[in-house]
Amino acid sequence: KYFTACCKIKGRPEVGRACLARNSGGRKEEVPKEHCQTPPAAMPRAPPVSSAVSKLHSRCHSLSTMKQLHAHLLHHHRPFPYNHFLSKLLSISSPSSATTTAAAADYALLLLASHPAPTAFSFNVALRFFAASRPRVSLQLSLRMLRSALRPDAYTLPFLLLAAARCPAPAFAVSAHALLQKLGLHNHDHTVHSLITMYSNLGRPRAARRVFDGILRRDVVSWNSMIKAYQAAGMKDDAARMFRAMVAEGAVAPNTVTVAVVLAACRDAGDLALGRWLEEWVRSTGMEVGSLVGSALVGMYEKCGEMAEARRVFDAIADKDNVAWNALITGQ
């Protein structure tokens, strides 16, 4: 019966009949018709390999289980999803152990090195992870990507620019800027904003301003990036002029991030007059003085020695969070 049932599942009822006849000593025994029917199409079948791997992949939450699945696929000569494994490995993190995260990152690098045909997506996943944690590794990966004749895209350049700024690698940053121009991404919003931030982190606000002046359609992120570049360089007057130009132009309205950055510049320079003017402007426009703007005002007033004003602003904040409390305690 077991063999007949197996033959039935395989769609070979005649094999089951012949085998049953041989085992009965040549006696012709009729097998019930229902045992010889081909199973209906609705009978569940084994899932495809890709679906099975995807299910196993989603259950891996540690480096050891990822290695086990990797070994299983290689041992059984199954198709190996390199890109999915790279994404999963670089997303594994242990809050209690930085060693686990570092080991997963090293394993991901070995996996990328063994990739027979890496794609732009493969490199972008790795560049995104290593741009902040290991910028030199990210730069090395970008060079390998260029040597493999793969074309960087709008997702590649922001991570490359971040790595060049974090390294820091001024010469590489200039080369990345030239590559951006060559690829025609000089009008891509996210890439241009990353370029301004890169020059800001390298301490080159004038170069950042040249990039800003070349933007055809400026949005609030463009203005904020440039004002932040001036604030980071300690150029308070330029940050204030940029803010006033943004208000006068009127095409893009400042948001809470804009105000917080200018207030940070006032705090660093100890400019109480500009800080008071900013608070009056905020209240005249009806902008909500929430945690972000309120904390910036508190820090500015404390740095300028106006403790009563700082406490007044703090008491008026409706949604006090850790940032607001820290601003009151530390003045930052």
SS3 label, residue 48: coil
Asked if residue 20 lies in contact with residue 29, where contact means CB atoms within 8 angstroms, the answer is yes
Low-confidence ranges of the chain (pLDDT < 70): 1-50, 52-53, 93-100, 331-332
Cα 59 to Cα 42: distance, rounded to the nearest angstrom: 28
* pLDDT at residue 169, as a whole number: 86
Q: Give pLDDT tens digits for 274-298.
A: 999 999 999 999 998 999 999 999 9
- The pLDDT, as a whole number, for residue 187 is 83
User: Residues 234-253: pLDDT tens digits?
Assistant: 999 999 999 999 999 988 99
Tell me which CATH code domain 112-217 carries: 1.25.40
Per-residue burial over 158-167, b = 16 or more CB atoms within 10 Å of its CB, e = otherwise: bbbbbbbbbb
Distance (Å, whole) CA 238 – CA 9: 79
Buried-exposed string 216-234: b where 16+ CB fall within 10 A, e elsewhere: eebeebbbbbbbbbbbbbe
- Could you tell me where the DSSP H helices lie in 76-214? 82-91, 98-113, 120-133, 135-147, 156-166, 170-182, 189-201, 205-213
Q: Determine how many CB atoms are found less than 10 A away from the CB of residue 325.
A: 15
Give residue 315's pLDDT.
93
Residue 252 DSSP code: S
DSSP state of 33: G
Distant-in-sequence, close-in-space partners of 234: CB < 8 Å, separation ≥ 6: 268, 269
Please give the Cα distance from 109 to 184 (Å, whole number). 30
Cα–Cα dist 255/253, whole Å: 6
Domain ranges of the chain: 1-43, 112-217, 237-332
State the burial class of residue 112 (Cβ atoms within 10 Å of its Cβ: 0-12, 13-18, 19+).
buried
pLDDT value at residue 185: 86
